[in-house]
Amino acid sequence: MKKIFLTFVFALLSVVGFAQTAWAVDPMHSSVNFNIKHMGISFVQGRFDKFEGKVSTPGASLDNATFSFGVQTSSVNTGVEMRDKHLKSADFFDAEKFPAMTFESTSLTKEKNNTYTLKGKLTIKDVTKEISVPVTYGGITKNQQGKEIMGFQTTFKVNRLDYNIKYDPTGAGVAKDVDVNLYFELIKQ
């Protein structure tokens, strides 16, 4: 009987030790933004209005967490309808053929304080590349409804030419590098 009890306790501890906590992006408190230099003298700012994401953590920290995010390319929004239509075309995102950009994490490394280095595979159009981005972890708290929420942000650059966004390949009118700024608040599921 004692052996059965100990086996049960070890099995329970194993399950609890490997239990994952799921978090889902709260789109009302999150944003996917970008800036790109225009004509070498100014910037165009934009965002994507439709996106989703999940994070799976082994506890209340980001240690060993996995990330999965998707952005609907047809939701690009720069505030100028004509430009947004052009960005959805084959010159840029080709939103009809490639409706989503995705990111799947491969590793997460704790740096100092609340910073991490997140590595993963970013897919835009028909190209998938390994990227590495800095993540600032905001922590966990409870919202007004008493639900646990987590926050983090990242800022990084992407060379659009690497992802077959070949419009103006010289970068004279539309720069090659795009500044990406992501701010996410996630709700514990």
Interval 97-154: pLDDT, tens: 999 999 999 999 999 999 999 999 999 999 999 999 999 999 999 999 999 999 999 9
- Give one word for 139, left, alpha or beta, with left for phi > 0 and alpha for psi -120 to 50: left
pLDDT score at 164? 97
Residue 63 pLDDT class (50, 70, 90 cuts)? confident
83: enclosing H helix or E strand: helix 81-88
**Do the Cβ atoms of 60 and 89 come closer than 8 Å?**
no
| Fold of domain 19-188 | Lipocalin (2.40.128)
If you average pLDDT over residues 85-93, what whole number do you get? 98
CA gap 75, 53 in Å, rounded: 15
Residue with tokens 């409706």: 99
pLDDT score at 18? 52
Residue 64 pLDDT class (50, 70, 90 cuts)? confident
**Do the Cβ atoms of 113 and 143 come closer than 8 Å?**
no
140: enclosing H helix or E strand: strand 127-142
**Residue of 149, 145, 176, 153 lying closest to 163 (CA atoms):** 176
If you average pLDDT over residues 9-29, what whole number do you get? 69
DSSP 8-class letter at 9: H
List the structure tokens of 16: 């609890």
